[in-house]
Amino acid sequence: MTAWNISERAAALHREALVWDNTFPFGPVCGSREAHLNSLVRMADSGYDCVNLTIASDNENMAAAVEAISSARAHFHANADRYVLVDGAADVEAAKASGRMAIVFGFQGTLPFERDTGLVEVFYRLGVRQALMAYNQKNNVGDGCHERTDAGLSRFGVEVVQAMEQVGMLVDCTHTGYRTTMDVFEVATRPVIFSHSNSRALVDHERNIADEQAKACAATGGVVGVNGIGIFLGPNDTSTEALFRHLDHWVQLVGPAHVGIGLDFVSELDALNGFVRRKASKYPAGQSYDVEVRVVDPEQIPVLTEQMVSHGYADDDVRGILGGNWLRVAREVWS
C-alpha cells in the first residue's frame, strides 16, 4: 500500500470511527475553564466524538465535587447544540450521529465519596461514570502508585468497588498502587479499566503499569488507555511515535480489543507544572517531575490512526482502539 493510500484509508477510518478519549482533566489544576473549553474545540476539530472529563479527584471532597459537577452540567446543558451529557452508552452513539460531542464525567480518585458508599449512587445519578481508586497517594480505598507502602485494597475499598459495580460505575485502577490494583481485579465481577496508563516495561516510571497488571485488567474484559504525558512515554517525549510504541506494546500483550486512548491532555501546562512543584508528596523526587512536563496534543490522534494503519492494523481493530472498546465496556457496565 502506498503512503497516499495509507493516508486516505486512515483519514476515512478516523472520520467513520467513534473517537473516544477517556481522560481529560477539567479542573483548575490543569487550567482555566476557558482554556478547557478551547481544548474541547480542538478535540472536536481533531475528530473526537466523546471525552471523559475529570470533574473531581482526590484533591476534592464531596461538596467541592458537587459544585464542580453543577457548574459543568449547567454549561453543557446551555450548549446542547454542541454537546450531549451522557447518561448511557446509547447517548454516545446518538451524539456522534448528530455531530455533537458526548461528555462523560469521571473522578481521578475516590475521596469525593468520603467514607460513605451511598455517595457512589448519588454521584452516578449526577453523571459520574468512572472513578479511579487512589491518585498517587494513600486514601480510604487503598494505596496510590507513588505511596511508600503497597498495602492493597482496604475493607472500605472492597465496599466501594462493590458499590460502583452495583450502580454501574466503571472501576479505574490508573494512578493506583500495584497491590491495590491486583486486589481490585480479584474483587471485581465486571470489567475494570486503566483509563490512562502506559507500559512500565518500556519506561520504568512508578506511574506506568506492569504487564501483569495490564493482563489482569484484560482478563476482566477491561481496557487499558494509552497516556500522552511525555515523562510516561519516554524522556519527556511527546512524539506520536512514542505514543504508538506504548499502544502497540499493549496491543501485542493483551490484544487490540483491550486497548484505548486516555490522552490526559492538559490545557495549560504552566498550571499543572506549578501544582506539581507545590505537591512534592504527591509527585515525589526521582520520578522526572522536576522537568517542565509536556503532553501529546489532540491533533496527534489522527496521526496515531495513520500509524496504526501503516503498521498493518485491521480496520476493526483501529475502530476499537479509537473508541469502540470503551463503548463496549460502557455498554456492559453502565446501568
- 287 burial level (CB within 10 Å; 0-12, 13-18, 19+): middle
Cα separation, 80 vs 94, in Å, equals: 13
Q: Grid coordinates standing for 244?
A: 504508538
What's the CA dihedral at 208, 283, 261, 169 to 10 degrees?
A: 100
* Cβ atoms < 10 Å from Cβ of 297: 17
pLDDT recorded at residue 210? 98
Q: Across all residues in the chain, what is the average pLDDT?
A: 97
Q: Work out the pLDDT band at 244, boundaries 50, 70, 90.
A: very high
Cα separation, 249 vs 81, in Å, equals: 39
Q: Which tens digit of pLDDT belongs to each residue from 262-307? A: 999 999 999 999 999 999 889 999 999 999 999 999 999 999 999 9
Sign, CA torsion 55/59/62/67: negative
* Reported pTM: 0.97
pLDDT recorded at residue 4? 62
Q: Which tens digit of pLDDT belongs to each residue from 117-159? A: 999 999 999 999 999 999 999 999 999 999 999 999 999 999 9
pLDDT recorded at residue 223? 98
pLDDT recorded at residue 1? 61
Residue 5: is its pLDDT beyond 90? no
CATH of the domain at 116: 3.20.20.140
Cα separation, 194 vs 5, in Å, equals: 34
pLDDT recorded at residue 6? 85
Residue 83 φ/ψ, nearest 5 degrees: -130, 150
Total domains, the chain: 1
pLDDT recorded at residue 121? 98
* Interior/surface letters 56-81, b for 16+ CB within 10 angstroms, e for the rest: bbbbbebeebbebbeebbeebeeeee
Cα separation, 265 vs 295, in Å, equals: 6
pLDDT recorded at residue 328? 98
Q: Which tens digit of pLDDT belongs to each residue from 21-62? A: 999 999 999 999 999 999 999 999 999 999 999 999 999 999
Q: Work out the pLDDT band at 335, boundaries 50, 70, 90.
A: confident
Range of the domain at 112: 3-333
Residue 209: is its pLDDT beyond 90? yes
